[in-house]
A and B are shown apart, each in its own frame.
Chain A
Amino acid sequence: MELNEILDLLHGTLQTTGFMFVGWKVIVMWLIGLFFLYMAIVKDFEPNLLLPIGFGIFLVNFPNTPLFGFSEGHPQLLQFFYKYGIIWETIPCLIFLGLGAMTDFGPLIANPMMLLIGAGAQLGVFVTFTGTILLGFSVKEAASVGIIGGADGPTTIYLTALLAPHLLSANTLAAYSYMSMVPLIQPPIMRIMCSKKEKLIRMKPSARPVSKTEKILYPLICGGIIALLVPAVMPLMGMFMFGNLMRESGVVKRLTATVGGPMMDVVTVLLGVAVGASMQAEVFLSYKPIMVFALGLADFVVCTAGGILTVKVMNLFRKEKINPIIGISGVSAIPMSPRVAQIWGQKYDRKNYLLMHAMGACLGGSIGSPAAAGMLLAMFK
Chain B
Amino acid sequence: MKKLGICLIITGILFFVFGIAIGTPRAQEAVKETGAAPASPSQPAQPLRLNVFEGGEQTAGQPFDSEKLLPPGSPQWIGAPLMPGGRKMSEGSGRFVQEYDKPYNEVLAWYRQALKNYPDARYRDWSHEMYIEDEGASRWLAITLSKEGGPKTQVTIVKDNWTWIFATLFLRFFGVFVVLLVLWLGLNIATFIVRRLVKDEKEPAPASA
Interface residues of A (CB under 8 A from B): 87, 109, 112-113, 115-116, 118-120, 122-123, 125-126, 129-130, 133, 137-141, 162-167, 211-214, 216-218, 220-222, 224-226, 228-230, 232, 283, 364, 367-368, 371-372, 374-381
B188 interfacial contact with A, CB 8 Å? yes
B37 interfacial contact with A, CB 8 Å? no
The residue on A at minimum CB distance from B62 is A166
* Residues of chain B with a CB closer than 8 A to A364's CB: 180
Within 8 A of A (CB), among B33-55: 48-51
Interface residues of B (CB under 8 A from A): 3-4, 7-8, 11, 15, 18-19, 22-23, 48-51, 58-63, 120, 122, 135-137, 165-166, 168-170, 172-173, 175-184, 186-188, 190-191, 194, 197-198
CA gap between A154 and B48 in the complex, in Å: 17
Q: Are A214 and B190 interface neighbours, CB within 8 A?
A: yes
Q: When the two chains form the complex, which single residue of B8, B165, B181, B197 contacts A130, counting CB atoms closer than 8 Å?
A: B165
Q: Are B165 and A133 interface neighbours, CB within 8 A?
A: yes
Q: Are B172 and A372 interface neighbours, CB within 8 A?
A: yes
* Residues of chain A with a CB closer than 8 A to B179's CB: 119, 225-226, 229-230, 371, 374
Q: When the two chains form the complex, which single residue of A116, A137, A221 contacts B187, counting CB atoms closer than 8 Å?
A: A221
* Residues of chain A with a CB closer than 8 A to B170's CB: 126
**Apart from the given pairs A112-B184, A228-B18, A367-B180, 16 other A-B contacts in the complex at a CB distance below 8 Å:** A87-B58, A109-B187, A115-B180, A116-B180, A125-B173, A162-B49, A164-B61, A211-B198, A213-B4, A218-B187, A221-B11, A228-B19, A229-B178, A283-B60, A368-B176, A379-B172
CA gap between A371 and B184 in the complex, in Å: 14
Q: Are A211 and B194 interface neighbours, CB within 8 A?
A: yes
Give the interface centre of B48, B187, B198 by most chain A CB atoms within 10 Å. B187
* Residues of chain B with a CB closer than 8 A to A129's CB: 165, 169
* Residues of chain B with a CB closer than 8 A to A381's CB: 48
CA gap between A211 and B120 in the complex, in Å: 49
* Residues of chain B with a CB closer than 8 A to A213's CB: 3-4, 7, 194, 197-198
